[in-house]
Amino acid sequence: MINIYEVHETNQMIEQENLDVRTITMGISLLSCAAEDMDSLCENIYNKITSKAARLVSCGEEIEKDYGVPIVNKRISVTPISLVAASCAKSTEDYVRIAKVLDQAAKDVGVNFIGGFSALVSKGMTEAEELMINSIPKALSSTERVCASVNVGSTKTGINMDAVRLCGEIIVETAKLTKDGEFPHCAKLVVFCNAPDDNPFMAGAFHGVSEPDAVINVGVSGPGVVKTALESCRGSSFEVLCETVKKTAFKITRVGQLVAREAARRLEVPFGIIDLSLAPTPAVGDSVADILEAMGLESTGAPGTTAALALLNDQVKKGGIMASSYVGGLSGAFIPVSEDQGMIDAVQRGSLSLEKLEAMTCVCSVGLDMIAIPGDTPASTISGIIADEAAIGMINQKTTAVRLIPAMGKKVGDVVEFGGLFGYAPVMPVNRFSCEGFISRKGRIPAPIHSFKN
């Protein structure tokens, strides 16, 4: 039988170390909603989402109560809209209208974000996909809960540089539509390489075409728990360090597995995957940077940071894999700057640069995430950053992503306030040399060779 020490350990993780289930995300296929005219399409989309997800939020709350573990977000991901709407959306305005329908459906079922305003264009763009991408600035600025993503490359297809160039421009345009003090619309837009079909985390979540009609995916969290565990092994060997991370990841993931199974059972929807993640929040003590520093770095960004992050990421996966029956999504440590107080501190101390963050993305789960850059950064430079990240993903067969926030009217050293609970981000310097000549070339970068790994 369970003993008092085990009960105490679990509850201490929840109460003092910010252990939570970060998100229950219901994936809903909208392929059955395709129609010949916009009115029917919008009606079908609204009805399908609101009927499938009617009980999502209340069910999440019941589970929270039963087990005493917070489930921070309940969210929805849908089939990429560029596929669903291709038959009838003929203008960017049509896509904005669909975004508004998604927003309304999300509001009515009570979820805080809905992902899937997406286009998968790793090899080429259809007319519908190009229209959808062009509608992103307006769609995001006229809705509250819709998240957009674009997959611009993959290991199998190479990188679609036309889409990369377009995304740079779209990010700038989206940033211009953010009013001062408002939550930045760019935070709801991710550009991917090798985007996974079953990612439960926003803003990049969408419900891939290989998925069933509806599915429950769960993202776990708990950087605070790992950090506390590591504090007990200061000065010990790497073996002890790795074992500690692994055991802690196992325990955290088991909670996610339980919640996912329960949610799937109660909602009568198949269980998809657990995303084995360390997802930080701006709350003190809920930071991935703090874990790296607990391993012995003076400040995140110092030499050794990439190795420490690689170790952390790998051990989280090793511990989590055994704890869950199905693993997927982005799985690994997230390093969003503005959502991690330790990262913000490191940037402000001057120890963490954009270039070091880029190196870190080679060994962890996502990419350059939630980074504020000067508002006068040219679109071509943003495209260059996207191309660099996509290249890392393409060559290393991993998911990479870019979520940059150009801060209009701000310069390096300024701080962007996101309003409310979303925290803030220091504006980071970007290399000022131009890549215009490279980015303005048309076409795509071919798929890489899969042998001669050097």
**Which CB, 4 or 449, lies closer to another protein?**
4
**Which CB, 9 or 182, lies closer to another protein?**
9
**Which CB, 69 or 289, lies closer to another protein?**
69
Q: Are strands 277-278 and 114-120 parallel, antiparallel or unpaired?
A: unpaired
Select from 3-11, 182-190, 209-217, 226-234 the region that touches another protein (CB under 8 A): 3-11
Task: Tell me the closest approach of the beta carbon of residue 4 to another protein, in angstroms.
Answer: 4
**Which CB, 69 or 294, lies closer to another protein?**
69
**Which CB, 1 or 449, lies closer to another protein?**
1
Q: C-alpha distances in angstroms, 358 versus 133, 337, 361, 371?
A: 25, 12, 5, 11
In the block, tokens 């890392």 appear at 392
CA distance 174 to 171: 5
Angle at 265 between CA 263 and CA 268, to 5 degrees: 100
Q: Site for another protein (CB under 8 A): how many residues?
A: 20
Select from 59-67, 142-150, 189-197, 306-314 the region that touches another protein (CB under 8 A): 59-67
**Which CB, 321 or 354, lies closer to another protein?**
321
Number of alpha helices (DSSP H) and beta strands (DSSP E) in the chain: 15, 15
Q: Which of residues 161-220 bind another protein (CB under 8 A)?
A: none
What b/e string do you get for 131-162 counting C-beta neighbours within 10 Å, with b at 16 or more?
Answer: bbbbbbbbbbbebebbbbbbbbbbbebbbbbb
SS3 207: coil
Q: What is the largest CA-CA distance in the chain?
A: 67
Select from 4-12, 175-183, 297-305, 409-417 the region that touches another protein (CB under 8 A): 4-12
**Which CB, 90 or 261, lies closer to another protein?**
261
Would you say 207 and 215 are in contact if contact means Cβ atoms under 8 Å apart?
yes
Task: Tell me the closest approach of the beta carbon of residue 392 to another protein, in angstroms.
Answer: 35
Q: What radius of gyration, in Å, describes the C-alpha atoms of the chain?
A: 21
Task: Tell me the closest approach of the beta carbon of residue 166 to another protein, in angstroms.
Answer: 46
**Which CB, 227 or 403, lies closer to another protein?**
227
**Which CB, 9 or 127, lies closer to another protein?**
9
Task: Tell me the closest approach of the beta carbon of residue 325 to another protein, in angstroms.
Answer: 12
**Which CB, 67 or 422, lies closer to another protein?**
67
**Among the listed residues 331, 316, 326, the one whose alpha carbon sits nearest the alpha carbon of residue 248:** 316
Task: Tell me the closest approach of the beta carbon of residue 226 to another protein, in angstroms.
Answer: 14
Task: Tell me the closest approach of the beta carbon of residue 317 to another protein, in angstroms.
Answer: 18
Q: Which of residues 6-25 bind another protein (CB under 8 A)?
A: 6-11
Q: Which of residues 63-122 bind another protein (CB under 8 A)?
A: 65-69
What b/e string do you get for 214-239 counting C-beta neighbours within 10 Å, with b at 16 or more?
Answer: bbbbbbbbbbbbbbbbbeeeeeeeee
Q: C-alpha distances in angstroms, 437 versus 182, 362, 384?
A: 34, 26, 10
Question: Bridge-partner residues for 38, per DSSP?
Answer: none
Q: Are strands 158-160 and 214-220 parallel, antiparallel or unpaired?
A: unpaired
Is residue 265 a contact residue for another protein (CB under 8 A)?
Answer: no
Task: Tell me the closest approach of the beta carbon of residue 231 to another protein, in angstroms.
Answer: 15
Task: Tell me the closest approach of the beta carbon of residue 67 to another protein, in angstroms.
Answer: 4
Query: H or E segment at 26?
Result: strand 21-28
CA distance 190 to 370: 10
Q: What is the DSSP code string of 303-356? A: TTHHHHHHHHHHHHHHHHHHH-S-B-TT-EE---STT-HHHHHHHHHT---HHH
Site string for another protein, 222-261 (x = CB under 8 A): -----------------------------x--xx-xx---
Cis peptide before 391 (omega within 30 of 0): no
Task: Tell me the closest approach of the beta carbon of residue 2 to another protein, in angstroms.
Answer: 5
Is residue 3 a contact residue for another protein (CB under 8 A)?
Answer: yes
Task: Tell me the closest approach of the beta carbon of residue 364 to another protein, in angstroms.
Answer: 25
**Which CB, 48 or 254, lies closer to another protein?**
254
SS3 145: coil
Task: Tell me the closest approach of the beta carbon of residue 69 to another protein, in angstroms.
Answer: 6
**Which CB, 3 or 454, lies closer to another protein?**
3
CA distance 175 to 133: 15
Task: Tell me the closest approach of the beta carbon of residue 285 to another protein, in angstroms.
Answer: 17
Point out which residues bind another protein (CB under 8 A).
1-4, 6-11, 65-69, 251, 254-255, 257-258
